[in-house]
């Protein structure tokens, strides 16, 4: 009965959002008092009661939620799910050379923001967030895509890629250190640095992607940590961060959707974040780890009937951008081509995978292929072996300016 009520609430919420979004134009949108009242009522189904709350300097609100009462458990497949506080197995990643600086766990949130034991930290969803998310769909960007979807029935109009892809053998985890750049895009554009895994035929494509995103309609400002998942080729399942039931948060220090800072400086200090995804061999859950901190996981049950139940067959690292039709595409990465090299071009280093035995491996050179959907605007350079300073890495990106 509870799951039925939640489904009804979400349907009513969607209807209310659409009513407001139909009148939306670029920028922030104002709702009538009646619409606000309805949206606030429906937001109670999304924003769980907070034990403690914080408001940041840029106006974002973070709530400390009882770990057992988070939104994830509104999903009908997770009705009787027991929270896994940590994975039963943790990969021992291979240490590699590093000449850039990693962003620490405590650099995201301002001092004084700390959640008590037994809670998790989540970014509060607002009425404006919901209106803007609907606006994002109306301009044609429903979600991050994957190069796997090219040549299939999924609309990739406005999407551009520059990635390195691994599909040589089945994998159970991926890792990469993603370079941080706070680029400027217009209100209707999106620029992403991503690491993703995927499995299954296109109609049942299951995929998880993590990284950073500059997306004014979704995050309002600057560069934010993002996640996205789907179990049916971006059709009905999945969402960003915790905007729908599914992802089980366990960290009380790293909220999804958080503003990332500090970032890289062109010709100066380079900043990166250490991300990994791996499947727990005992439970089948897919864990998201940031800088050694277990942020949370996508339970195996979300993917039963599609892929990712027993590993993945494709991994990808690199960049993606989106721009509406007839509008020039935005910058990707740092906005500079890979040929400019370290300190100027965006990169992902420390590329690794987990094989069937659970061991971390540095992929063989021939198993990684670069992909450039629009090479006149964005390219990829694969760095390996004797190419200093990393064993396996890519430079990617470009200034944009393409249409279509």
First to last CA, the chain: 46
The Cα 172–Cα 170 span in angstroms is 7
Do the strands 173-179 and 271-279 form a parallel or antiparallel pair, or are they unpaired? antiparallel
- What are the strands, taking DSSP E only, across 29-118? 50-55, 61-66, 101-102
pLDDT digits (tens, 9 = 90+) for 131-181: 777 776 666 566 566 555 555 555 677 889 999 999 888 999 999 999 999
Q: Is there a contact between 45 and 10 (Cβ–Cβ < 8 Å)?
A: yes
Nearest to 133 by CA among 280, 282, 252, 240: 240
Angstrom distance (rounded) from CA 390 to CA 166? 18
Rounded CA-CA distance 109/127 in Å is 23
Three-state SS for 134?
A: helix
Query: pLDDT per residue over 248-288, tens digit each?
Result: 999 999 999 999 989 999 999 999 999 999 999 999 999 99
Chain-centroid distance, C-alpha 278: 15
- Residues of the chain below pLDDT 70: 1-31, 97, 104-110, 112, 136-155, 202-203, 386-388
The pTM assigned to this predicted structure is: 0.88
pLDDT of residue 105: 61
User: Computed from CA positions of residues 191, 195, 200, 201, in that sequence, does the dihedral angle turn out positive or negative?
Assistant: positive
Q: Which residues pair with 199 in a beta bridge?
A: 206
Supply the DSSP symbol for 398: B
Q: How far is CA 402 from CA 108, 294, 327, 368, 376, in A?
A: 33, 38, 8, 26, 8
């Amino acid at each position: 009965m509870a799951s039925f009520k939640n489904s009804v609430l979400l349907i009513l919420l969607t209807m209310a959002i659409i009513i407001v979004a139909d009148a939306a134009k670029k920028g922030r949108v104002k709702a009538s008092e009646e619409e606000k009242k309805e949206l606030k009522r429906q937001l109670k189904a999304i924003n769980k009661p907070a034990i403690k709350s914080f408001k940041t300097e840029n106006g974002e609100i973070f709530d400390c939620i009882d770990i057992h009462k988070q939104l994830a458990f509104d999903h009908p497949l997770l009705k009787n799910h027991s929270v896994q506080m940590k994975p039963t197995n943790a990969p021992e990643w291979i240490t590699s050379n590093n000449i850039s600086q990693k962003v620490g766990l405590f650099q995201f949130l301002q001092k004084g923001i700390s959640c008590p034991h037994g809670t998790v930290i989540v970014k509060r969803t607002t009425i404006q967030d919901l209106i803007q998310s609907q606006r994002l769909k109306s301009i044609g960007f429903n979600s991050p895509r994957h190069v796997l979807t090219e040549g299939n029935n999924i609309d990739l109009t406005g999407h551009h890629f520059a990635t390195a892809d691994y599909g040589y053998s089945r994998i159970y985890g991926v890792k990469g250190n993603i370079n941080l750049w706070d680029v400027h895009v217009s209100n209707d554009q999106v620029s992403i640095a991503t690491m993703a895994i995927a499995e299954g035929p296109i109609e049942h494509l299951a995929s998880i992607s993590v990284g950073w995103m500059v997306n004014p309609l979704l995050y309002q400002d600057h560069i934010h940590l993002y996640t996205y998942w789907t179990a049916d080729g971006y059709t009905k399942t999945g969402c960003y961060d915790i905007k729908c039931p599914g992802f089980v948060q366990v960290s009380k220090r790293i909220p999804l959707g958080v503003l990332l800072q500090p970032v890289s400086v062109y010709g100066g200090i380079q900043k990166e974040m250490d991300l990994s995804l791996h499947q727990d061999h005992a439970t089948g859950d897919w864990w998201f780890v940031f800088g050694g901190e277990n942020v949370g996981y996508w339970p195996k049950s979300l993917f039963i009937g599609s892929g990712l139940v027993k590993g993945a067959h494709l991994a990808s690292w690199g960049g993606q951008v989106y721009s509406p039709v007839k509008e020039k595409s935005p910058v990707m990465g740092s906005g500079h081509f890979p040929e400019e090299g370290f300190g100027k071009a965006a990169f992902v280093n420390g590329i690794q995978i987990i094989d069937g035995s659970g061991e971390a491996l540095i992929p063989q050179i021939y198993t990684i292929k670069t992909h450039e959907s629009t090479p006149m605007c964005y390219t990829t350079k694969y760095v390996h072996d004797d190419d200093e300073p990393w064993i396996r890495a890519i430079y990617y990106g470009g200034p944009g300016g393409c249409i279509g």
